[in-house]
Structure 1
């Protein structure tokens, strides 16, 4: 099974996290990594396992690189029945009410189109001492058995 990793980022941390996840999944799942700004909704394949890496920007919005993909999902409404995905979200608990909202928005959009979220929806906290890429590596290790359940 192939893994497709899509990331949405404002500052580039999402790309670093996506790379860390890809390194862990590389041996078993031949992951492909794409910036959401450069990925078309029509390219989603329900046979792939989708990993979404998404930061939160502003007052709980999607980062700028995620907006084109999110808008296209809303406009095209592809049937994602049968697709399984997992989310690694990034945010900061300083923003109490909107903490990690970017990842949650993407999960809501995908499930509304028929995809099923599986595994742990990770919510990284930028206010913690935990480095995002290290957290992503550990999360990706826990994700492997979930991917294999297909």
Structure 2
């Protein structure tokens, strides 16, 4: 099973997090893509997808994720069988919109039939924790069948 990591960023932190997740899973077939360069038509149910998405403005998707999700909305592909995990980034000082970008991403994928698995990670930039460290720990917990040991 291939692991496809898609990141949507405003300032580049999501890309750093995506690379950290890829490093953590490097013993496996892992590919990392900027969402601006990935067509929703290329989503394969046989792959496991990881979405790394920041939050922008008033709880919106970042600029780097908008083209992907606009295309997903326009085409509404049948993503039955596709499984994905989400690592969201945000800042809790924004209250109700904290980490909303990752939540929007998950909602849009599930609306097309995909299933979110594992913990929805919510990084808070108001903490001392480095996002890359949190991402590595989170990646170790993902229930990816091909990566699980018996």
Compute the TM-score of the two structures, normalised by the length of structure 2. 0.96
Q: Which residue of 1 aligns with 2:126?
A: 127
Q: Which residue of 2 aligns with 1:103?
A: 102
Matched, 1:65 2:64: yes
Supply the distance in 2 between the matched residues of 1:56 and 1:117 (Cα, whole angstroms): 19
Supply the distance in 2 between the matched residues of 1:149 and 1:56 (Cα, whole angstroms): 30
Question: Could you tell me how far 1:148 is from its partner in structure 2?
Answer: 1.2
Give the match's secondary structure for 1:22: helix
Supply the distance in 1 between the matched residues of 2:136 and 2:81 (Cα, whole angstroms): 26
What do the CA deviations read for 1:94-120 (whole angstroms, capped 9, x no partner)? 000100000000000000000000000
What do the CA deviations read for 1:48-97 (whole angstroms, capped 9, x no partner)? 00000000000000000100000000001110000000000000000001
Q: Which residue of 1 aligns with 2:10?
A: 10
After the TM superposition, which residues 47-66 of structure 1 pair with which residues of structure 2 at under 5 Å, given as runs?
47-66=46-65
Question: Could you tell me how far 1:26 is from its partner in structure 2?
Answer: 1.3
Compute the TM-score of the two structures, normalised by the length of structure 1. 0.96
Q: Which stretches of structure 1, 4 residues or more, deviate above 6 A after TM superposition? A: none
> RMSD of aligned C-alpha atoms?
1.1
Matched pairs, number: 147
Gaps of 5+ in 2: none
Question: Could you tell me how far 1:149 is from its partner in structure 2?
Answer: 6.9
